[in-house]
Every structure is written in structure tokens, then in C-alpha cells.
Amino acid sequence: MIVLGIETSCDETAAAVVEDAAEPARRIRANVVLSQLDEHAPHGGVVPEIAARAHLQHLDGLVARAMREAGIGFGDLDGVAATGGPGLIGGVIVGVMTAKAIAAAVGKPFLAINHLEAHALTARLTDDLPFPHLLLLVSGGHCQLVAVEGVGRYRRYGTTVDDAVGEAFDKVAKLIGLPYPGGPAVEAAARSGDPKRLAFPRPMKGRPGADFSFSGLKTAVRHQVASLPDPLPQRDRDDVAASFQQAVAEVLADRARHAMARFTAEHGAAATLVVAGGVAANRHLRAVLTDAARREGFGFAAPPPRLCTDNAAMIAWTGIERLRLGLVDTLDFAPRPRWPLEEMRA
């Protein structure tokens, strides 16, 4: 089974071809990603109109390139999948309409993919994980803990009550004079910093449940930076980055432990904690969460960094998962700017 995947939900334009066969088993035959970082960096964040225009300008060429790298023609596809939401609606429309056009032209099934479900299922592509597993989804727009019970079957244990963790990284980076995107910049600065120097709060840590909050932590960083010299010396900048990152790691680990306890109670046995989304590329967070999973008797899995950030391979793979179950979509599917996982139905 071979599926073309298209991803245009935010500021990466991507196309990929993924195959699931007996020999070789699962493989990514092509995975092309065009970052729009240079276009958005001067604005300190993603500008939706700029993103949509860039998708429109580059997507056709990326699809053609992915097909060439995969060494196949459109007639060899078994389906065409595209992110149908959630995301910036202009970009989602570009990807959905392109996928519909290809599917209609070559007579193949069209699959509208929930971007969050794609993150939830990526570890099944990379690690061949069985259902169920526990997902910690951490990205610029999302932060939630979800029991992944099957394709289209999700039970949310907790979510953020304010900022997503990736959004907090971006805001803290701006406060201490680091470039956009903030996640990689803060992680790089933190390597040279002292994570114990500044006593930032750990919001929600120790409370019942598995919800998150990061706005108070962000505010504490702002107050701390205001008390330091201006411009911020490099040592202070690195210490703020390291102390903030450590606070985030401890909050994520605490919330994940609560979710793991609930998961075990509901499913009868420990399984695997999967961490996915752009923030899952952070090595320090991975290390802390690996240890937390081990202490609870869980395995740990995270896709390679290139498959944590937005990409089309995860869209193509989710297309395969859904196509295998006969879960195809009609060409009148309407792109969705919001599409909670718990609204998915198999």
C-alpha cells in the first residue's frame, strides 16, 4: 500500500510518499519539507497569509519532487492524504484542494487527516507500536496527554489551560533575546546554563489530574529578566534558558506520571509513553521523560526529530492506517481550523 501525504497546516510545506508492504515492511520512500522560517522570522511568529501564499507557491513542485524521489507515478498510489485540520485555515485549504485534485484526476481515494492523529500514530510507523499507548503531544499549539486506543479512538486525560509548551518556549526566547523559533534556540542556550540558578515555579506540579499551565511560568521568567542587567549578559541568558527548560521538564514529567497511573488503571498494564510534536525534539525533555516512564514501568518512544516537527510522512502513514480500515473521505470534505482528537470517529 502506497500513499502520498501532503502537510500544509502551519509554516512547513511538505509532501511525502510512504509504503507499507510485506517486504520491505514500512518505509518512507520520499519526505520533502520546505521550511518558511526565513519568511516568518522577521515577524517573530507565523503570519497566516504569508504561510498560505507560500504553500500555494511551492506545493505543486514539492509533490512532483516527492513522486520523483519515490520513483513512482500517480497511478501507483493507493490513496492521497492531506492534513484536513486543525491548522491555519488558508494553508489547510491549499493542501486539501491539491490532494482532492490529484485523487480525482487519477481515481484514487482521498483521505482527510487530523494533524493531531498523525502525531499520535507516527510512533507506529517508526517503532511499530501496538495499541493502546499513551501520548504526550507537545508542540507550538498543543499540549495534551491522550490514551491512544486505536485509529480514531482517543481519550484525553489532560490539556493546557492556557499556553501550549511550544508557545511558552517561543515567548521566553523572545524575552531573553533569542531568535524565532524559540524551542531550538532555548535548548541550545540551556546547554551552557545552570538549571538550578533560578527558582522558577512548576505550575500544576503535584496537583491531581493531568492538565498543564505555562502562563505563570512565562510571567515569572519575564519578571526575572526585568531584574537582570539590560542588555542581558550571555551567562544570565543561558541560566534563564536552562532554569526555564528544567521547570518545563519537571512539569511535563509530573503530569505524565499522573496520566500513566490513570492509563494503567484503565488498561490493566503499563504500556509505552510516546512523546510527539515539535517540542519532542528537545533532548533534555526526552531524557527527563524517559526516566519518568521507566519509574512507572512504561516503555518510552519518540519519533526521530525530523518526524517530530510538521512533516508529510506522518500524514501519509496515517492515510495508510485509515485506508487499511476503509476510512476514506468524500471530495466534499470541508477543511477544519479546529478538530479535537476526541471528535475523531473510526
Determine the pLDDT at residue 22: 67
Q: Residue 107, exposed/middle/buried by CB under 10 A (0-12, 13-18, 19+)?
A: exposed
Distance of CA 29 to the CA centre of its chain: 21
Rounded to 5 degrees, φ, ψ at 156 are -80, 130
pLDDT digits (tens, 9 = 90+) for 242-261: 999 999 999 999 999 999 99
Beta pairing, strands 110-114 & 79-85: parallel
What's the distance, Cα to Cα, between the start and end of the chain in Å? Answer: 20
> Grid cell 521538564 — which residue?
249
pLDDT digits (tens, 9 = 90+) for 127-139: 999 999 999 999 8
Average pLDDT over residues 198-219: 96
Single pTM value for the model: 0.95
Q: Look at residue 2 and give its three-state secondary structure.
A: strand
pLDDT digits (tens, 9 = 90+) for 27-45: 999 999 998 778 888 887 7
Residue 156 corresponds to which cell in the numbers above? 484525553
| Residue 346 in this model has a pLDDT that exceeds 60 | no
Select the CATH number that applies to the domain covering 131-302 from these four: 2.60.40.1180, 3.40.1190.20, 3.40.50.300, 3.30.420.40.
3.30.420.40
| Residue 209 in this model has a pLDDT that exceeds 80 | yes
Q: What is the dihedral of CA 55, 56, 58, 63, to 10 degrees?
A: 90
Residues 259 and 274: their CA atoms lie apart, in Å, by 12
The highest-confidence range among 25-39, 40-54, 272-286, by mean pLDDT, is 272-286
Query: Residue 142 — very low, low, confident or very high, per pLDDT cuts 50/70/90?
Result: confident
Determine the pLDDT at residue 28: 97
Determine the pLDDT at residue 24: 61
Determine the pLDDT at residue 345: 64
Residues 323 and 328: their CA atoms lie apart, in Å, by 6
Residue span(s) of the chain under CATH 3.30.420.40 come to: 2-121+307-343, 131-302
Determine the pLDDT at residue 311: 96
Tell me the CATH number for domain 2-121+307-343: 3.30.420.40
* Gyration radius of the chain over CA positions: 20
Q: Among 84, 117, 119, 118, which Cα is nearest to 98's?
A: 84
Average pLDDT over residues 191-210: 97
Q: How many CA within 13 A on the CB side of residue 207?
A: 12
Query: Mean pLDDT over all residues of the chain?
Result: 95
